[in-house]
Amino acid sequence: MSSRHQTFDDEEVAEHTNLETHFIDSSGLISWDLFKQDADYPFTDWSFSGTTEEEFATLMAIFAAEDKEVYIADYEHLGVYACRIIVPGMSDIYPAEDLWLANNNMGSHLRETLLSLPGSAWNKEDYLNLIEQLDEEGFDDFTPRA
């Protein structure tokens, strides 16, 4: 996946792996149309009936009733607050076993080698061996890497 985050290519935005990446960690491509002046749909406020505290208490009560552990990470960036709530067994997108096989850290063992390529002076066989290794590890063109 490229380092860019916006594109005019709606087909690329609609690719299955791009949509999946958004669902997982919001790191996929977005269309420049997102920033256009006229919206496709009118704005609609969320229709929560309670306060933030009441909604949080309701959510925590659901998790407690299900005897689930809850992990919360609070973030603030540029004055905008967000939180991530992880509930093992409920918020999982994939079974944990699948994450061992396919995750954003795939290929991290090659990071130093790949970052050194612009200044490298390898012989032809070394470059071909690296290409072969990349092919054997089965990286696709859309999955982000660490």
Local confidence pLDDT in tens for the 146 residues of the chain: 445 688 899 999 998 888 888 777 778 889 998 888 898 888 888 877 889 899 999 999 999 999 999 999 999 999 999 988 989 888 777 776 776 666 667 778 888 898 898 888 999 999 999 999 988 887 766 665 65
pLDDT for 4: 65
Give pLDDT, residue 104: 66
pLDDT of residue 54: 93
pLDDT at 1: 42
Rounded CA-CA distance 76/42 in Å is 28
Spatial CB neighbours of 74, under 8 Å, sequence gap ≥ 6: 81, 82, 83
Separation CA 89–CA 93 (nearest Å)? 9
